Amino acid sequence: MKKITILLVSILALASCDDGFLDKKPLDKLNEDAVFNSAALCESYVNALYTVLPDPYQEGNVGCITDEGYFRYGGTSTRYIASGYMDPDNVMYIKEGGQAHNTRTTVLNIWNRTYEWIYRMNYMFDYIYEKGTIMPNDAKERLLGEVYFLRAWSYFLLIQRYAGVPLISKPHKLDDDFSTHRSTFDECVDFILNDLDSAYAKVPTLEKCVQGRINKDVVLALRSRLTLIAASLQFNDPAYPTGDIYHGAYSADKWQRAFDAAKAIVDRADVDGAYSLDDTYDGIWKDVDSPEIIWAKYFVATSDANDNYTKKAQLLYTVEYYNGWEAFHPSQAAQIDFEMKNGKKWFEEGSGYDEKHPYANRDPRFYYCIAAPFYPYGSTNGKGEYKEDSLLLYYLYDNMTKADFLMSNNPTEPGFTSKAKHTASGNHGGLELYKWYIPTSFISEAQTGSLLYPWFRLAEMYLNYAEAAYRTNREDICRQYINKIRQRPDVMMPPVTESGDDLWDRLVNERRVELYAEMFRYFDLRRWKMADFYENVPLASARVMVLQKGNQMDTIYRVARLYDASKNNTNYYWGNNPACASYTYAAHDGVGTDRYGTPIQYIFTYHWLGKDYTIDYGDCILNQNPTPRCFPKDGRNYLMPIPRNEITKSGSNLVQNPGYN
């Protein structure tokens, strides 16, 4: 079609008006000539493209599919994936004829949305390169550069989830053949790298760029993330020397490429001084001018009729923050990996762990990320009044001592009193997400205190650099950059000194802790080919019970513990009576059944710094999810399924990912 109508109203409705420079009034319908010959209108068009991936401040946060956490309302967004039931039909949204919730998105099934945005990007390229434009050259080059980056970002997001995908660089016309085929993984990586080269040549430097827009450093950051993933085992496996749709051709040199890419952005900090680690860990979400942020999504406040401070709805928070609605319970598996302040894990000899205070003396990042029982936090009421409070995630039972409780034959725990801070729901996690919370900001369904979400930050680049250094036999650099992060002024964890396999353990754990709840764990476990272990660790939640009788008060923590043969592999607090719990337990093999008779393993052996440690989850609450967490044995969940409707639309030319019918 020679002329089309560009519906900027529709496009800008898809753009988040919370995004700083994206906060523009909708424009009326304009034809393509008006849009692509006006710097202001073309910029509005490009602004909408920035939202190709929604921010992960979502109810169905992807971390709740991993061993990071749990979303109890996520039956059609996270739980079915975490339980291993994902397939090409249920991953489709309800509006597409599938079963996935339309708004509780995990930002995993992005196929349809992303290709819609790629079409818009290609349309802009096609118009400007074929017809030309009268907009000023500097504006044209900058906007073209941004779109080259956004197309690279889009294809990166796709291959991260699906491996090789169709590479479409021209907008389809009505009479085009819509059948298409998937390109190999390496072809996709090369295409993305070429777009990044084009973007780098056109976008401005940091110093000449508006905050939130793409600059040369953002391009370098994506190049680092892309080359790291392309070098990792999932896509760079010696078992596939020639490569295919699902794997790149194996080459150890890909780690050198990843090292060089990481060094380029790291040098912008360490050599040029453009970035530095924030002095405080929470600065990355509380300070819009944090020196650590390379690229972020910024949220801009507006005022409603009552002059309330409002932004987009934000439902990633916890029970204390918005009417009991919570979307992320940290798991017991996650808390295990936050070291003690002396650098040892709690289960190591000499850690100083006290079972009567299991969350005490941890890596300071634990308290920034996770709200644990009895640890203070601040909050504000609807009037903006701030107060210090104490997070009391416990159940209080009157007229009962610990001895009474342990001798009780009641089939359920005793009823709690009105003094308890939480509901008696068995699917409450016992820990809450604290990361991203700003105590002085009021939270409601229509309001959020969020200031920004960091897409790229320096700590990630340091960890990318450390990993590539490890893989290219530069262990001194690996340790140096892990320790830079651990020496953040408000963290100050002991330095890492290990080498070899033990250094790899440290690196994996540092990414786990530093990048907690930032949408990395899901993809890290896949690129390392570790998801089949960690995502089969049971979804276990804690409970803290305060038992009070007269002047006597006892506190019981039902948390993960080291395996103890003297307890006969049973839930310590329920004895051997299977009628007293939602789960029954086998005598010696660490495997029981859930309430539906499905086997569930609750004893796992972790390898850490050359030793094996057996962790027993039997004391925890194990019945939050109607079905146990499960990563399929055939490994199909290492990649997402292509939605069934996309296979159908292609005339079955699209090859489905392995393991999905």
Q: Residue 162 CA to chain centroid, in angstroms? A: 17
DSSP H or E stretch at residue 302:
strand 302-303
Contact 243, 249 (CB under 8 A): yes
Dist. CA 57–CA 297, nearest whole Å = 11
Backbone angles phi, psi at 461, to 5 degrees: -65, -40
CB 282 within 8 A of CB 290: no
The predicted pLDDT at position 597 comes to 56
Predicted local distance difference test score (pLDDT) of residue 87: 95
Q: Return the sign of the alpha-carbon dihedral for residues 268, 274, 278, 282.
A: negative
- 3-state SS, residue 547: strand
CB count within 10 Å of CB 596 equals 8
Q: Where are the domains of the chain?
A: 1-52+108-203
Q: Which residues in the chain land under pLDDT 70?
A: 1-30, 174-179, 300-325, 377-397, 405-428, 442-449, 567-600
Longest dimension (CA), the chain: 85
User: Token digits for 374?
Assistant: 């009895």
Strand partners, 592: 585, 600
Write down the residue that tokens 């910029």 correspond to: 43
Q: Up-side HSE of residue 111: CA atoms within 13 Å toward CB?
A: 25
Nearest to 78 by CA among 557, 427, 577, 343: 427
The answer to whether the beta carbons of residues 329 and 517 sit under 8 Å apart is: no
Place of tokens 């897409």: 455
What are 597's two structure tokens? 């008779």
- What pLDDT, on a 0 to 100 scale, did the predictor assign at position 563? 87
Residue 334, sorted as left (phi over 0), alpha (psi -120 to 50) or beta, turns out to be alpha
For residue 407, which phi and psi values (nearest 5 degrees)? -90, -5
C-alpha distance from residue 621 to each of 127, 228, 413, 544 (Å): 58, 37, 12, 11
CA distance 656 to 653: 9
DSSP codes, 218-230: HHHHHHHHHHHHH
b/e map 65-76, b = 16+ CB within 10 Å: bbbbbbbbbbbb
Pick from 75, 12, 73, 66: nearest CA to 41 = 12
Task: Please tell me the predicted confidence (pLDDT) of residue 618.
Answer: 80
Q: Could you give the CA distance from residue 250 to residue 469 in angstroms, rounded to a whole number?
A: 18
Q: Under 8 Å CB-to-CB from 395, ≥6 apart: which residues? A: 413, 416, 420, 422, 424, 543, 544, 545, 546
Looking up tokens 């393991």, which residue turns up? 659
d(CA 52, CA 38): 23
Question: For the stretch 132-144, what's the b/e string if a residue is b when 16 or more beta carbons lie within 10 angstroms of its beta carbon?
Answer: ebebeeeebebbb
Instruction: Write the CB contacts of 343 (distance below 8 Å, at least 6 apart in sequence).
Output: 493, 494
- What is the model's pLDDT at position 3? 34
Q: Are 595 and 627 in contact (CB under 8 A)?
A: no
- Cα–Cα nearest to 251, from 264, 266, 238, 265: 238
Instruction: Mention every residue, 6+ apart, whose C-beta is less than 8 A from residue 309.
Output: 301, 303, 384, 441, 442, 447
Query: Structure tokens of 249?
Result: 């051709």
329 sits in which H/E element: strand 329-330
Radius of gyration (C-alpha) of the chain in whole angstroms = 26
Tell me what pLDDT residue 462 has: 99
Phi, psi dihedral angles at 395 (to 5 degrees): -115, 130
Distance of alpha carbon 432 from alpha carbon 373, whole angstroms: 9
Alpha helices in 373-474 (DSSP H): 402-407, 458-471
Residue 325 is predicted with a pLDDT of 65
> What φ, ψ does residue 456 adopt, rounded to 5°?
-135, 135
DSSP secondary structure string for all residues of 560-573: -EE--GGGTTS-GG
| pLDDT score, position 360 | 95
pLDDT digits (tens, 9 = 90+) for 487-544: 999 999 999 999 999 999 999 999 999 999 999 999 999 999 999 999 999 888 888 8
Which CATH architecture describes the domain 1-52+108-203? Alpha Horseshoe (1.25)
Cα–Cα distance measured from residue 279 to residue 255, given in angstroms and rounded to the nearest whole number: 31
Residue 626, CB-side half-sphere exposure with 13 Å CA sphere: 9
Rounded to whole angstroms, how far apart are CA atoms 102 and 117?
18
